[in-house]
Amino acid sequence: MQGYFICITATFAWAFTSIIIRYLTVNFHLPPLVLAFWRDLFVSGTLILFFLMFSRQRLAISMANLPFFMVYGFVLMLFNSLWTFSVALNGAAVSTVLAYSSAAFTAIIAWRFLNESLGWGKLFAVGLALLGCVLVSGAQDKAAWIVNPFGILTGLSSGIAFAGYNLLGKVSSNHGNNSWSALLFSFLFAALFFLPLNAIVARLQAQSFLPTMFWLGWRPLGWLALLGLAMGPTIGGYGFYTLSLNYLPASVANIIAMLEPVITSFLAYFLLAERLTAIQLVGGGMIILSVILIRVFESQPESPSGIAPV
């Protein structure tokens, strides 16, 4: 239950992410990839300062672990980038569903390579959560699924990238790496990878690199919102999610993370006066039920009909 509590706490923190991002993109028109760079940089900078003051041993990294954390950071950068492009190509509803296809990818890959169980109960919970995600995001509307092969491919790739991030987090946990140190180095390398990516995008759009990176200029509210995004939802969300992987299989943590659109919908209702439809409420109930079911299935021995790990 400790792992479930930590993962739900992470998901609740994550739910504030889209609200703050919406504020930055709507009010300041901040380019998403520039936003992602500064968020990752502020996350790593905040953690470095905290560790310097209170826990310097967490700043230590062996040369043997350096390639792993570089890959970890690259996958994080890849997920954030693909998610951004998926939203632009598919819209919020479809991109959300495609990103959370990661639950299915995580379950299958973790079964194949991390020896996690893949019983029929877990498969049912994944399917129920995905269907609930469709209803919460509004992707049940046929108009949302305009034929866009490249957009669908990009969205599915974001789901695979998030599955990769989950599995690398589990591998890091299995190797005894401190979860908060792993958070620091993965975000630090992600920020470094975002620099050349932003330079390429700026060149393709015939824009100057430095003015684009310092888009907010002397607008303190924008910088404060970015700092708040890093210190609150991002460190809290990714930090506790990575910590939960010490206690939970990656596939289970990914299913719990699908509570995020449900929580975000309720936060938008109370904070932004956005309307919740009956279909969204039903979808939210399905996702909550899937988390309850996966807890029940995980607490029981694997049945003979389940799929044994390889």
pLDDT digits (tens, 9 = 90+) for 207-259: 899 999 999 999 999 999 999 999 999 999 999 999 999 998 888 888 888 88
Confidence band of 46 (pLDDT split at 50, 70, 90): very high
226 C-beta neighbours (distance < 10 Å), count:
22
Are the CB atoms for 167 and 114 separated by under 8 Å? yes
Distance separating alpha carbons of residues 12 and 305, to the nearest angstrom: 34
Which of the two residues, 195 and 22, has the higher pLDDT score?
A: 195
- Domain annotation covers residue 306: no
- Domain annotation covers residue 183: yes
- Domain annotation covers residue 305: no
Q: List CB contacts of 41: < 8 A, sequence separation 6 or more.
A: 191
pLDDT at 101: 81
- Domain annotation covers residue 307: no
| pLDDT (average), residues 270-280 | 73
- Report the predicted TM-score, pTM, of the whole model to 2 decimal places: 0.83
Distance separating alpha carbons of residues 89 and 80, to the nearest angstrom: 14
| pLDDT (average), residues 27-47 | 93
pLDDT at 305: 41
- Domain annotation covers residue 22: yes
Q: Which tokens belong to 295?
A: 């807890």
**Phi-psi label, residue 13: left if phi above 0, alpha if psi -120 to 50, beta otherwise:** alpha
Domain that holds residue 159: 2-298
Distance separating alpha carbons of residues 29 and 271, to the nearest angstrom: 21
pLDDT at 142 over 60: yes
- 29: helix, strand or coil: coil
Digit-coded pLDDT (tens) for 80-117: 898 888 877 776 667 777 788 888 888 888 888 778 87
- Domain annotation covers residue 304: no
- Domain annotation covers residue 197: yes
Q: Total structural domains in the chain?
A: 1
- Domain annotation covers residue 211: yes
